[in-house]
Structure 1
Amino acid sequence: MESSPLTQQSRPDTFQPKIVKLYETLFLNAEDAEPSEGFWREFFLLPPQRVRLSQILDVISPDDILQIHFHTQQLFSKAIKEAAAGESPSNIYALETLTTFLGGVLTKKYTNPSSDIITVLAGIDEVDHVIANFVAALDGIIRNGTSFEIRLKAVEAAISMTSGGYKTSLISYFMHRDIFPALMKFIHDSNIRTQIFEPFVLLGLLSNYNKFEFQNPYQLRLDDFVNESTIQKIVGGTGVTCTALRNGYVAVQDDLPEGWNLSSTLAFFGLGALAPGRRAKTPLTPEEAKARFGAL
C-alpha cells in the first residue's frame, strides 16, 4: 500500500489572529514589497487587536519608525479614507486603529518632534492635505455619525492626536477647522452621562492650546457659550465620571484613613477581642496595582 502524499501539520502552540500577522508585516518586516490594495482591504475588514498593536509599536524605536515612514504614512491615510467612507464595520475598525496607532507613534521621543512626526504621518509635501482631511473626517463623524459608538470612536481618535501631538504644530489644524459645534452637538444628543466626558476632555485640550499666544477659537467659543441644558449635561457627565474614577481608585488602593467605628474604638481601649470579626483585605502587589490603575 502506497503511503499517502498528505502529511499532517503539527498543531501550533497558540493561534495568532490574522490581523497581528498583518501588523508584523507592516511594521516589523517593512523591507518587504509595498502593501497592495488587497492587503489594505483585508487590514480594515479584520477586527483590530489593539493591545498587540500597542506592543508592536512600543518595541520600535523613534529612528526605526522614521525608517518605515512610507508604511506609516500609508496606514494613516488609508485609515482616514476608511473612516470617512462610512462602511460598517470597517469605519469603526479604522478609527480604533487610528487611536492606537497615534497613541503609539506620537508619544515617542523624537529628535525633532514636530518635523519627525510630520514625516511619520504624512510627509512635508502632503501634511496640509492629509491632516486637514483627518480633521474634516473626524468633524463629520462626530457631528453626523450613524451611531453614538462611531461618534465616540472619532472623539477618541481626536484625543489621541491632540494629546500626543500637543507640543507640535499639528494641533493648529484643529484651530483652522472649528469642531466646537460638532462636540456640542454630540453632547446635546447624548442621553448617557458617561458619554459626555470624552468630548469635554477634547474640548479642554483644544481650548488650552497656546491660549496665551493667540486668540484660541475654542476659548472664545466657551466664553460665549450660554446653552444651559448642554452646560448642565457637561456638569452632570463630568461629575459621574469623576465619581467612577474615584471609586475605581479606592477599589485598587484605599489610602483613606479609617474612620472611627465600633471595632476601632474597642481596639483603642485594648478591647479588640470583643470587636466583631472583619475579613482583612489582602494588599495588592505593585505589579497588580499598576495593572489595575492602567485599566482605569
Structure 2
Amino acid sequence: MNNHNRPRATGVTKFASIYTKLFQGLSPSQISPQLSIDRFWSDLLDLKVDSHFLKAELHKLPKDVCFGHLKYTLSSLFKACLYHSKTAKYNDPKKSNSLVTLRIFTASIFEKNLSGWEVMEIFAGSVAQSDAHFSEFTATLDSLIGDSNSPAETRHKALQLALTFVCGVSQLSPGAYFLRRDFFPAIIEIVRDPLTEQFTFEAVSFITVLANYHKSDAAKLNPYLKQIAEAVDGEFMRKICWASNYIMESSIQAYQRVVNDVPAVAASSLSATLGASWGAVMTRLRPEAIVSLVYQESPKEKFKDLPTHSTVVLLTIYEFMRRNPLFISVVLEDLVSPIDKPLTSSPLPCNIISVTSYLCSHASSGPSPRSVAYANLSLNILLVLVESSLVMEFITQTVSPSIQICRQKPPSLPLSPAQQPIICSVLDCCVLWLRHNLHKRLEIQPYMSSLWIIYRIIWFLQHRRIRLQYDWLHTWQALLGLLNFIASRMDELYTSGGASLVVFEAISVLELALTRSEVFIPTPWAIHQFIYELVRSSSVLKQQAPLLESLRLPSSGQFLVAKDNISRIVDIVSYYEVKVQESGGNVAAAKDVLKVIADDIESNGVHGAKDTPIPTPPTRSEDVLDFGRFAVVDILATVL
C-alpha cells in the first residue's frame, strides 16, 4: 500500500504531487509539516517547472474555487514567486522557475473572466494588500527587463510575464499599476541590446498595450502615449521598423501560400527575401503565429484564420507613426537610401501597403470582426501617411519596385508596372476595400478612411500639379459602384445612418476629382474615360440628391456641402449628356459617346472645371479605439 502511494511508483513527479495536493486544498504545513512555509515554497520553486501539467491543473480550477478556499494558496504562490524572482541570484533556478510559474499562473487566472477587484484578491490576497504587492511586482519586472547585466533568457522571461499580465488584465483596474511605472527606458534597452534585440516584437507590443490602456477616456493622461510622442532614439525606432518589416513579409507570405498570386517575375526573389535577416525575431514566436495555412476549405474558409497573429505589430506602427514625426522619418529612410545601397527586402512602407491590400481584400472572409478591425487599422496607417506632406512628397514622386498587391479575389486589379510611384499602390488598397466589402452591414469606418485617403491624395496632386501616371478608371468605377450599392440597398442596410456619411464623402471625392481633373489626371484619354464613366452612371448620380434629402440630418453642414457637390456633378454630367444627344451619333455605342466627350473637352476643356485654390483638408486620422481587444488576444497567441 505504501509502495502504491509513492510518486515514483505511479509515475508522478514530486512537482506534480505537490501541486496536486495544493490544488486539492491542502496547506503547505499539511503537505510538508517538517518545513517552514518559506522553505516549502523555496523547495517547490527549486523544482523544474512542468509547464504542461501546471497549465492543465490551473485550467481545471473553477473561478469560485480560485476566489474561495484556494484564494490563500494562490496568493501565497504569487507572493513566493514574486519574492524569489526578485531576490534569487541569476544562476539560481528559483529565479527562472518563479518567472515561468508566474507567467503560467497569470495566463491561467485571467482565463477565468475576473473583475478587477477579484484579480487583486487572488493575486495579492486582498484589495488592501494589492497596492504593495502590485507595486513590488511592477518594480521587479522593470528591474529585470532593463538590467543589461541580466542573462538574456531571464530578461526575456520577465518580459513575457509582463506582456502576459498586461494582455490578460486588458482594461481592468490592476493594469493601472503598470502605468505608474515607467517601463519605457527598460524597453529601449532590451530593443537596442544586440543580445536581446530578437525580442523586439514582444518588447514593443508591451509598450503598445500599455499605450492603449483606457485610451478612450484618458488618452492625455496615459504616460506611454506621451513617451511614444516624445521618443527621440532613432536606433530604437530602426529596430522597431526592422522587426516589423520581417513580420509584414511573413504576413504577406501567409496569404500567398493559401492562394499564390505572386507574379512569376517576383516569385523567384520572394523566397530569398524572406530568408534574410531578422529570422531570429520570428523564431521567438510560435510558428502558427507567423504563418497559418489552410488549403481544402471553401474560398472564405481558406482565409478565416488570417491575418497571422503577429500582424498585430501594425498597432505599434500606427501608435508611433501617428504621434511621432521622427518615426515617420525613420520609416521613410529605406525609400531615400542611395541607389547603390542594396536592399535585402522591400522597404517597410511598401510592405505595409502590400499587407493592407490583402487585409482589405479579405476583410469580409472571416466570421468574426477581427479581419475587419485589421483592415481598418491598416487603412488608418495609410491615412496617417497621406496626411503627412513629407511622406506625400516622397511617395507621389519616388518610384519603387512593384509592390505586391492582392489579386486573390475577382475582379482583380491589373498587374502594376515594374516601376511606379508608391502612392499608386495606396490607391489600389482603397479600390480593393471599396470593391470587396459591399455588404448589408456596411463597415462605415474603413469606408470613410478609404474615401479620406483618396480625397487627400487627389487634393495633394492637384495642389502640387502632379499628373500621376496611374490607371484611375478602377477608382472611378469603385466609387460609382459604392454609390449605386447604397442607393439601391438603403432600405436593407443595417447602418443607414453611417451610410449617409459614406455618401457625403464619396460625392466629395468625385466632385474634387471632376472639377480638378485637368490638373492631376495624366492624359487627355484618361480624362475622357473619367467623364464617360460619369455619363454612363448618370442615373446613379441623379439618385443621390433625393437620397441625400431622405438622409438629411437637422442643421447638417455636411448635407449642404454634399448637396452642392452632387448638384455640380450632375450639372456637368447633364452637359455632356446633352452634347451626346445633339451629336446624332449612336448613343448606345461607347466609342461614339467617348468621341463626342473627347471632342468637346479638346475644344473647350472640362466643363465646370475650376482653378480656384482648394483649402487643405482637415486631418482625419484619429485614435483607433476598438482594436485593443483584438490586439491583446493576438499578442498572447504569439507568446504563450
TM-score, normalization: structure 1?
0.77
- The amino acid that maps onto 2:175 is I
Residues 9 and 222 (structure 1), Cα distance of their counterparts in 2 relative to 1, 3 Å cut: closer
**Cα deviation, residue 28, structure 1:** 2.6
Q: Any idea what SS the aligned residue of 1:99 has?
A: helix
Match of 2:24 in 1: 28
Match of 1:116 in 2: 118
Find the aligned partners of 1:90 and 1:14 in 2 and give their Cα distance. 26
Match of 1:77 in 2: 79
Among candidates 13, 16, 28, match of residue 12 of structure 2? 16
Find the aligned partners of 1:196 and 1:37 in 2 and give their Cα distance. 36
Find the aligned partners of 1:75 and 1:241 in 2 and give their Cα distance. 37
Any idea what the Cα deviations from partners look like across 1:44-65, whole Å, max 9, x if unmatched? 1111111111111111111111
Match of 2:128 in 1: 125
Residues 20 and 295 (structure 1), Cα distance of their counterparts in 2 relative to 1, 3 Å cut: farther
User: Any conservation in 2 of the 1:194–1:240 contact (CA below 8 Å)?
Assistant: no
User: Any conservation in 2 of the 1:211–1:219 contact (CA below 8 Å)?
Assistant: no
**Cα deviation, residue 255, structure 1:** 2.2
Match of 1:227 in 2: 233
Count of residue pairs the alignment pairs up = 260
User: Any conservation in 2 of the 1:196–1:233 contact (CA below 8 Å)?
Assistant: yes
Find the aligned partners of 2:42 and 2:73 in 1 and give their Cα distance. 15
Find the aligned partners of 1:74 and 1:28 in 2 and give their Cα distance. 15
Aligned positions of 1:50-199 closer than 5 A: 50-67=51-68, 68-87=70-89, 88-110=92-114, 113-122=115-124, 123-144=126-147, 146-191=150-195, 193-199=197-203
Aligned positions of 1:246-257 closer than 5 A: 254-257=257-260
Find the aligned partners of 2:93 and 2:28 in 1 and give their Cα distance. 28
Find the aligned partners of 1:56 and 1:80 in 2 and give their Cα distance. 20
Find the aligned partners of 2:232 and 2:226 in 1 and give their Cα distance. 12
**Cα deviation, residue 160, structure 1:** 1.1
Match of 1:47 in 2: 48
Indicate the RMSD between aligned Cα atoms, in angstroms. Answer: 3.2
**Cα deviation, residue 230, structure 1:** 1.0
Find the aligned partners of 2:172 and 2:191 in 1 and give their Cα distance. 28
User: Any conservation in 1 of the 2:184–2:227 contact (CA below 8 Å)?
Assistant: yes
Q: Higher Cα Rg: structure 1 or 2? A: 2
Q: Any idea what SS the aligned residue of 1:178 has?
A: coil
- The amino acid that maps onto 1:63 is D
- The amino acid that maps onto 1:162 is V
User: Any conservation in 1 of the 2:28–2:40 contact (CA below 8 Å)?
Assistant: no
**Cα deviation, residue 40, structure 1:** 0.6
**Cα deviation, residue 168, structure 1:** 1.1
User: Any conservation in 2 of the 1:195–1:237 contact (CA below 8 Å)?
Assistant: no
Which stretches of structure 1, 4 residues or longer, exceed 3 Å deviation after superposition?
7-14, 29-35, 190-193, 241-247, 257-261, 281-284, 293-296
Find the aligned partners of 2:185 and 2:263 in 1 and give their Cα distance. 50
Find the aligned partners of 2:156 and 2:262 in 1 and give their Cα distance. 40
Any idea what the Cα deviations from partners look like across 1:187-217, whole Å, max 9, x if unmatched? 1113464321111110110011112322210
5+ residue gaps, structure 2, are: 32-36, 265-293, 298-304, 310-636
User: Any conservation in 2 of the 1:165–1:171 contact (CA below 8 Å)?
Assistant: yes
Find the aligned partners of 1:229 and 1:174 in 2 and give their Cα distance. 25
Find the aligned partners of 1:45 and 1:13 in 2 and give their Cα distance. 22
Find the aligned partners of 2:191 and 2:200 in 1 and give their Cα distance. 6
Residues 117 and 246 (structure 1), Cα distance of their counterparts in 2 relative to 1, 3 Å cut: farther
**Cα deviation, residue 245, structure 1:** 6.5
Select the structure with the greater relative contact order (CA < 8 A; seq sep ≥ 6): 1
**Cα deviation, residue 234, structure 1:** 1.3
Q: Any idea what SS the aligned residue of 2:85 has?
A: helix
- The amino acid that maps onto 1:75 is L
Any idea what the Cα deviations from partners look like across 1:37-92, whole Å, max 9, x if unmatched? 33211111111111111111111111111111101110111111100113222111
**Cα deviation, residue 260, structure 1:** 8.3
Any idea what the Cα deviations from partners look like across 1:84-123, whole Å, max 9, x if unmatched? 113222111100110110000012123xx11111111111
Residues 295 and 204 (structure 1), Cα distance of their counterparts in 2 relative to 1, 3 Å cut: closer
Find the aligned partners of 1:61 and 1:38 in 2 and give their Cα distance. 28
Residues 139 and 32 (structure 1), Cα distance of their counterparts in 2 relative to 1, 3 Å cut: closer
Residues 39 and 242 (structure 1), Cα distance of their counterparts in 2 relative to 1, 3 Å cut: farther
User: Any conservation in 2 of the 1:194–1:241 contact (CA below 8 Å)?
Assistant: no
Aligned positions of 1:201-280 closer than 5 A: 201-214=205-218, 215-243=221-249, 254-257=257-260
User: Any conservation in 1 of the 2:99–2:157 contact (CA below 8 Å)?
Assistant: yes
User: Any conservation in 2 of the 1:65–1:120 contact (CA below 8 Å)?
Assistant: yes
Residues 162 and 8 (structure 1), Cα distance of their counterparts in 2 relative to 1, 3 Å cut: closer
**Cα deviation, residue 10, structure 1:** 10
Residues 193 and 184 (structure 1), Cα distance of their counterparts in 2 relative to 1, 3 Å cut: closer
Q: Any idea what SS the aligned residue of 1:126 has?
A: helix
User: Any conservation in 1 of the 2:190–2:196 contact (CA below 8 Å)?
Assistant: no
Q: Any idea what SS the aligned residue of 2:160 has?
A: helix
**Cα deviation, residue 18, structure 1:** 1.7
**Cα deviation, residue 20, structure 1:** 1.5
